[in-house]
Amino acid sequence: MELNKARHAFVTGGASGIGFAIADALAAKGVPVTIADNDTEALAHVIADRSGKFRGQALDVRDRDGWIAARAASEAAFGPVDILVNNAGIGPDGRGFADMDPKSFDRMIAINLVGVFNGVSTFAAALREQGRGHIVNVSSTAGLTFSPQGAGAYTVAKHGVVSMSETLRTELAPYGVGVSVLCPGLVDTNLPRSTARISGDPTGAAARMPEGSIDPAIAGKLVARAIERNEPYVLTHPEYWPGVEMRLRAIEAAFHAQSEN
């Protein structure tokens, strides 16, 4: 869609990192942006530095009633949402499935996967009805390849986001609504801090997360371009392709093995 015609963008996890970079990139194109975040301190800080094109909205993406209230408040201020960016998420807890606290697994799925669905559930029907708009769901390269050690639940959620996005794109395309999935590699964000704030970081995994290799602004600009071009996949690290290819080759080999039987 043409960003200069977009009326309003709603970005979760928008007070920092990739979410903030996407909000900034959209605002630079003239799009009014609601930044939703459950870190109210960071949200207040961001909004204090912005005026006119930004508004803040407290939101825990697990809270479905909160989503309904957030949509009502944001659209009362800026009008109908044309762009939804489901970005909010947390990082891995560092444990394999055999040793994982079930509460950690539930929290991961609730935020990183169900939280994305909650956004879709809140806005997708309205976008379909108005016959315009775009949804961006933020996954990870972990959603395209094998799970790194200690990131199993995270990878389950991120694979789910990719699958949801692919299906949603097919469902909404006939109505003029685009869908993209962002699969970033390591980006320089405060994900370790936000993960520790929400989970308590009982295993210390958040503190051990590797540093990001690119600036979030790069991801923000790529997402803005993807919305304009209705690109299905948005990737930040081409050097991660071998890992994705390895998985796809293994699947291909399994198909060939069956056809030879």
- Residues with catalytic roles: 154
Over the chain, what HEC string results?
A: CCHHHCCCEEEECCCCHHHHHHHHHHHHCCCCEEEEECCHHHHHHHHHCCCCCEEEEECCCCCHHHHHHHHHHHHHHHCCCCEEEECCCCCCCCCCHHHCCHHHHHHHHHHHHHHHHHHHHHHHHHHHHHCCCEEEEECCHHHCCCCCCCCHHHHHHHHHHHHHHHHHHHHHHHHCCEEEEEECCCECCCHHHHHHHHHCCCCCCHHHCCCCCECHHHHHHHHHHHHHHCCCEEECCHHHHHHHHHHHHHHHHHHHHHHCC
Would you say 9 and 34 are in contact if contact means Cβ atoms under 8 Å apart? yes
Angle subtended at Cα 113 by Cα 187 and Cα 38, rounded to the nearest 5 degrees: 70
Give the chain's end-to-end CA distance (angstroms, integer): 47
